[in-house]
């Protein structure tokens, strides 16, 4: 998408607004699937929590993607968007047995990540096949050396508990049809990732009825020019080859699954916001925008670096700015950024705004969540309206009568 198209969208739909480029999502999807073309059966399950607008889910479905969900509500959204239950995997953490049973009753693939629920679910429903999420305790160390860690992680069944895991499966006679890992860390060092994969393969050999191995996600995308990113082509070549060898050893052709969120949607997203005020202090020039961490929390929450571009004045002289929001708390999008000279009223564009941006937005400070627009086939399509005052009060129960009475009695 170019600046002119983005500015036109801000003009038509107002700002702040999120814009998603369907073409970029499509090309990322194709890039990842073609990187693994040596594997006969590959399945991408898009991680819905990255960006869960129904239009985005429908786009993923049309590309042939499955869906990775972490809550029963995401399962319901997926079904509403047209996914077949068998194309949805449900990978919750810390949810109740009842919610897992509800998901199972909808026919989606269950993925269980703790022994307590596994034993209870297996005892009650030995015929429903279950995938197991393991914790391989592998993470990339400081100098990209392999280090064993994440011992405190709340995710997954520790590989050190494999004997207990096998006991539960044997006693309940439940069916295990998949093994899953998602370390959550960025796959920068492919060797580290391949090392973790070996642990997954070792675990898989304990189970006879597997249909798939799920390697989770963690693909790193560039946030600025020359930024490090996962070399998915190299990963495809190395892991793909190793996976095919494993299937021979296992004696059956399995499906290789991934659950990319950020990789598919991050770079496709643009967040557009108008500058309300340029404020010079003794130390800084602030550009205060008509938004805040209520709309884009990643800079404050993770220290994420979203590139910021002045769409209105792209050719201006570059100057240093701290870009801040209107929330009555420290609310910084970026400090000491070189941005083309900003005038009040200009539209700033935040890049990499597809993943974990709108889905983490809130109504803090009683502000409206922004609109969302999908750019597809050269046209803009509104896919979510900006909120209104009705949205802020919807669900609140009017108890004003209580206070009328208490006023009367205090008189
Ligand atoms: C969040 C999540 C993903 C997606 O991670 P990305 O870094 O966005 O690709 C995949 N699998 C599970 C289980 C997750 O919780």
pLDDT at res. 142 = 46
User: What separation in Å is there between the alpha carbon of 343 and the centre of ligand 1?
Assistant: 38
Average pLDDT over residues 338-362: 98
Assign 193 to helix, strand or coil: helix
Question: Do 182 and 133 contact (CB within 8 A), yes or no?
Answer: yes
Quick: pLDDT tens for 381-401: 999 999 999 999 999 999 999
In the three-class reduction of DSSP (H, G, I as helix; E, B as strand; rest coil), residue 341 is classed as: coil
Contacts of 15 (CB under 8 A, 6+ apart): 272, 273, 274, 290, 347, 370
| The CATH fold of domain 269-393 | Lyase, Ornithine Decarboxylase; Chain A, domain 1 (2.40.37)
**Closest residue CA from atom 6 of ligand 1:** 261
218 Cα nearest atom in ligand 1: 7
Query: pLDDT tens digits, residue range 297-307?
Result: 999 999 999 99
In the three-class reduction of DSSP (H, G, I as helix; E, B as strand; rest coil), residue 200 is classed as helix
Question: pLDDT per residue over 188-218, tens digit each?
Answer: 788 888 888 999 999 999 999 999 999 999 8
Please write the tens of the pLDDT for every residue from 99-128: 999 999 999 999 999 999 999 999 999 999
The predicted pLDDT at position 406 comes to 64
Q: Establish whether residue 47 lines the binding site of ligand 1, counting it when its CB lies within 6 angstroms of any ligand atom.
A: yes
Alpha carbons 181 and 196: distance in angstroms, whole number: 9
pLDDT of the residue at 227: 87
Query: With a 6 A CB cut-off, is 36 part of the ligand 1 pocket?
Result: no
Q: pLDDT tens, 355-366?
A: 999 999 999 999
Cα 349 to middle of ligand 1, angstroms: 25
CA 312 to each of CA 113, 335, 343, 375: distance values in angstroms, whole numbers, following the listed order: 48, 20, 9, 20
Closest residue CA from atom 4 of ligand 1: 261
Query: What are the start and end residues of each CATH 2.40.37.10 domain in the chain?
Result: 269-393
Q: What is the position in ligand 1's atom list of the atom closest to the CA of 91?
A: 13
Percent share of the chain, pLDDT over 70: 95
Ligand 1 contact via 66 beta carbon (within 6 Å): no
Q: Judge residue 301's burial from the number of C-beta atoms within 10 Å of its C-beta, 0-12 exposed, 13-18 middle, 19 or more buried.
A: exposed
Q: Is 49 in the pocket of ligand 1 (CB under 6 A)?
A: yes
- Closest-CA residue, ligand 1 atom 2, reads 47
Give pLDDT, residue 143: 43
- Work out which ligand 1 atom sits closest to the CA atom of 133: 13
What's the gap in Å between 342 CA and the centre of ligand 1? 36
Q: Which entry of 131, 247, 328, 357 is annotated as an active-site residue?
A: 328
- CB distance 223 to 181 below 8 Å: no
230 lines ligand 1 (CB under 6 A): no
In whole angstroms, give the CA distance from residue 274 to residue 325. 11
Q: Give CA–CA dist 394/389, Å, rounded.
A: 9
Mutate to test the pocket of ligand 1, among 25, 184, 265 (most ligand atoms within 8 A of CB): 184
| Model pTM score | 0.95
pLDDT, the chain, mean:
94
Q: Region 62-79: what's the mean pLDDT?
A: 98
Any ligand 1 atom below 6 A from CB of 262 = yes
Q: 361: helix, coil or strand?
A: coil
Specify the domain boundaries for CATH 3.20.20.10 within the chain.
36-260
CATH code, residues 36-260: 3.20.20.10
Q: pLDDT category, 140, cuts 50, 70, 90? A: low
C-alpha to C-alpha distance for 386 and 102, rounded to whole angstroms: 32
Please report where in the chains the tokens 């369907």 appear, as a residue. Answer: 22
For residue 328, indicate whether it is catalytic: yes
CA of 143 to the centre of ligand 1 (A): 24
């Amino acid at each position: 998408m170019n600046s002119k198209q983005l500015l036109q969208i801000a003009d038509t739909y107002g700002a702040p607004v999120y814009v998603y480029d369907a073409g970029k999502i499509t090309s990322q999807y194709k890039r990842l699937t073609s990187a693994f073309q040596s594997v006969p059966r590959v399945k991408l399950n898009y991680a819905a929590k990255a960006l869960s607008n129904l239009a985005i889910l429908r786009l993923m479905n049309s590309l042939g993607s499955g869906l990775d969900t972490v809550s029963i509500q995401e399962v319901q959204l997926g079904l509403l968007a047209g996914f077949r239950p068998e194309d949805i995997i449900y990978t919750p953490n810390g949810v109740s047995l009842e919610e897992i049973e509800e998901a199972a009753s909808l026919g989606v693939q269950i993925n269980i990540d703790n022994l307590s629920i596994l034993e209870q679910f297996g005892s009650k429903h030995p015929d429903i096949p279950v995938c197991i999420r393991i914790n391989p305790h592998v993470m990339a160390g400081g100098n990209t050396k392999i280090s064993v860690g994440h011992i405190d992680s709340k995710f997954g069944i520790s590989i050190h508990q494999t004997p207990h895991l096998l006991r539960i499966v044997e006693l309940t006679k439940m069916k295990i049809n998949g093994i899953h890992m998602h370390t959550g860390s960025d796959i920068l060092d492919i060797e580290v990732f391949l090392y973790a994969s070996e642990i997954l393969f070792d675990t898989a050999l304990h189970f006879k009825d597997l249909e798939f191995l799920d390697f989770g996600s963690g693909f790193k995308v560039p946030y600025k020019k020359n930024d490090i990113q996962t070399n998915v082509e190299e990963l495809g070549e190395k892991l793909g080859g190793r996976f095919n060898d494993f299937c021979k050893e296992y004696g059956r052709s399995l499906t290789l699954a991934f659950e990319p969120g950020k990789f598919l949607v991050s770079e496709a997203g643009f967040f557009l916001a108008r500058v309300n005020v340029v404020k010079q202090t003794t130390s800084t020039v602030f550009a205060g925008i008509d938004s805040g961490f209520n709309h884009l929390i990643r800079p404050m929450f993770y220290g994420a670096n979203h590139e910021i571009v002045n769409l209105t004045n792209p050719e201006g002289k570059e100057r240093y700015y701290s870009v801040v929001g209107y929330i009555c708390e420290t609310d910084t999008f970026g400090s000491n950024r070189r941005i083309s000279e900003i005038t009040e009223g200009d539209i700033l564009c935040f890049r990499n705004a597809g993943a974990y941006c709108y889905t983490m937005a809130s109504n803090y400070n009683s502000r409206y969540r922004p609109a969302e627009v999908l750019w597809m086939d050269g046209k803009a399509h509104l896919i979510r309206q900006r909120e209104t005052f009705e949205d802020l009060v919807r669900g609140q129960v009017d108890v004003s009568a209580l206070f009328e009475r208490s006023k009367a009695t205090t008189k």
